[in-house]
Amino acid sequence: MPATLRDVADRANVSVRTVSNVVSGYEHVSEKMRSRVLAAIAELDYRPNPVARTLRTGRTGMLGLIVPEIDVPYFSELARDVINAAAEVGYRVMIDQTGHDHERERQLLTGEDRTMLFDGILFSPLVTRDELREMNAATSMPLVLLGEHEFDGHYDHVAIDNVRAARDATAHLLSRGRTRIAAIGAQPDESYATPQQRTAGYEMALSEAGIEPDPALLHPAAHYSRADGYAAARDLLAASIPPDAIFCYSDLLAMGAMRAVFDSGLRVPEDVAIIGIDDIEEGRYSRPTLSTVSLDTPFIAREAVARVAARIEDPDAPAEEIVAPHTLLARESTLGSGS
């Protein structure tokens, strides 16, 4: 049986109030009392019960991090940084996977999942803007959106400028002399903000270079996985006039696409240059190394945690929008000399 506050109080001959004060680091406690209590705590190996504390205070000290799949490198690298950033401000993180299941996302966000015990949520959404708006009414949980860059004043957002990131990536391919540039990652459903913004940036860069975007070069991808990138690239390469470069909306898509290029008997970047977005570590060791748009994940994690923590303190604070920096990293998959 673990010792309780009451046990410590009895042992030290003080009231539970005083013990609680000492444990919680209350200012006004006499030195005598404090040391007496501290001794009792040590002797009994007392530890506060976080559950009882939560019941009383209404705070769990936990943040929920909701992602589609934790084994997607971008999300696991983000999770690492979020967990660390949260620990620094006294929060722990519970990861929930939605598995691309909209219904599951809804349950999580509306609190219909009865086991919700977070003080706040960091949510990397797959849902559409409309769905998000509906959920808004159902819950009052402090919520920060990650990577959903469509600021509507309802939620705090932390994301890169997707349009510019995509434009930068595409412009880089253009600067390497490529003209027939394909894109992988567009979503058939137009209400997803992120892919749409990336498509916009891609088309913007082409237009700026005086190139008319070719719809046949805009390839959808449902899951941003290696498999989807592979399948999409095979499709593109089988066309009568294949692309000489591919801009992938995620590094994972790019890893699959690179493999597809090789399996088609072509070379990267000589025949097809490839660039992604995310800067996962895998791309720094692949052959060739992957050019990409690097997101400052530690920055995103830190800001997101700070935002949600602030909102927990003041639920009525106006929603803020944080734009995270991004950097283009040119590696072998667009520069050559790799393979």
Partner DNA sequence: TTGTATGCGTTATCAG
Partner DNA sequence: CTGATAACGCATACAA
E-only strand ranges, the chain: 62-67, 92-97, 120-123, 143-146, 156-160, 181-186, 218-220, 245-248, 273-278, 291-295, 321-324, 326-329
**Min. distance of Cβ 2 from its own copies in angstroms?**
9
- Give helix then strand counts, H and E, for the chain: 13, 12
How far apart are CB 111 and DNA at their closest, in Å? 13
Interaction between residue 49 and DNA (CB under 7 A): yes
Q: How are beta strands 245-248 and 143-146 bridged, if at all?
A: unpaired
Task: Give the range of 45-53, 140-148, 173-181, 239-247 binding DNA by CB under 7 A.
Answer: 45-53
Q: Report what 4 binds from DNA, its own copies, none; CB cut-off 5-8 Å by kind.
A: DNA
Which two three-digit tokens encode residue 293? 């748009």
Burial class (CB in 10 A: 0-12, 13-18, 19+), 115: exposed
Whose Cβ is closer to its own copies: residue 34's or residue 267's? 267
Given its own copies, DNA, none, residue 33, with its beta carbon under 5 to 8 Å by kind, binds DNA
Selection from DNA, its own copies, none that 218 binds (CB < 5 to 8 A by kind) is: none
Side-chain-facing half-sphere of 195: CA atoms under 13 Å? 24
- DSSP SS3 for 159: strand
Q: Quick one: 197 or 286, whose CB is closer to its own copies?
A: 286
Q: 168 is written with which tokens?
A: 């930068």
Contact flag: residue 61 with DNA (CB under 7 A): no
Size of the site for DNA (CB under 7 A): 30
Residue for token digits 């470069």? 245
Question: Of DNA, its own copies, none, which one sits near residue 69, judging by CB under 5 to 8 A according to partner kind?
Answer: its own copies
Measured from the CB of residue 208, what is the shortest distance to its own copies in angstroms?
33
What are φ and ψ of residue 85, in 5° steps? -65, -40
Taking the C-alpha atoms of residue 163 and residue 171, their distance in angstroms, rounded to an integer, is 12
Q: Between residues 2 and 265, which has the closer beta carbon with respect to DNA?
A: 2
* Look-up of token digits 């002399």: 177
Q: Should residue 32 be labelled a site residue for DNA when binding is judged by CB under 7 A? A: yes
Which span (30-38, 93-101, 183-191, 230-238) binds DNA, by CB under 7 A?
30-38
- Cα–Cα distance list, 219 to 36, 53, 159, 243, 258 (Å): 70, 52, 24, 12, 15
Closest separation between CB of residue 288 and its own copies, Å? 9
Is 10 near DNA (CB under 7 A)?
no
Q: Which residues bind its own copies (CB under 8 A)?
A: 47-52, 54-55, 60-61, 69-71, 73, 76-77, 79-80, 83-84, 92-97, 111, 114-117, 226, 230, 255-256, 258-259, 262, 281-282, 284-287, 339
Q: Which positions lie near DNA, rule CB under 7 A?
A: 1-2, 4-6, 13-18, 20-21, 23-24, 27-30, 32-33, 46-49, 52-53, 55-57
